Amino acid sequence: MQTNYYFDSSTTSETLMNTFLHSSARSGDSTREIWIARQAMLSIMRLVRSEQLLAIRCSVKQLVPDHLMANNIKSVRGRRTRGGHPGQTQFVFGSDD
């Protein structure tokens, strides 16, 4: 089997992950080992992605003057609290109907 090391644009991260997992299987291709390795790899990828986004955000804060930044970038993100829908009311417990 000849290995092709050229970049293939149709290759997805899923196929790259499968290739890596099957080539690095030490004690066979047990489903459990592959699942654990896949979950560990996905966790590492999420961590790297979040660190990249944090680094980008920090560099943007350093490069862009404060008065030019949008308000949503300046503020710390939090969960938005929404009031109830106008048609919704709270349940009243303990009242006689």
Within-domain flag for 24: yes
Residue in this structure with the two tokens 């804060």, named with its chain if needed: 61
Within-domain flag for 20: yes
Within-domain flag for 39: yes
The pTM of the full predicted model, rounded to 2 decimals, is 0.48
Q: In a 10 Å sphere around its CB, with 0-12 CB exposed, 13-18 middle and 19+ buried, how is residue 38 labelled? A: middle
Ranking 6-10, 19-23, 24-28, 32-36 by mean pLDDT, the lowest is: 6-10
Within-domain flag for 78: no
| pLDDT for 20 | 76
| pLDDT for 56 | 92
Domain that holds residue 18: 13-67
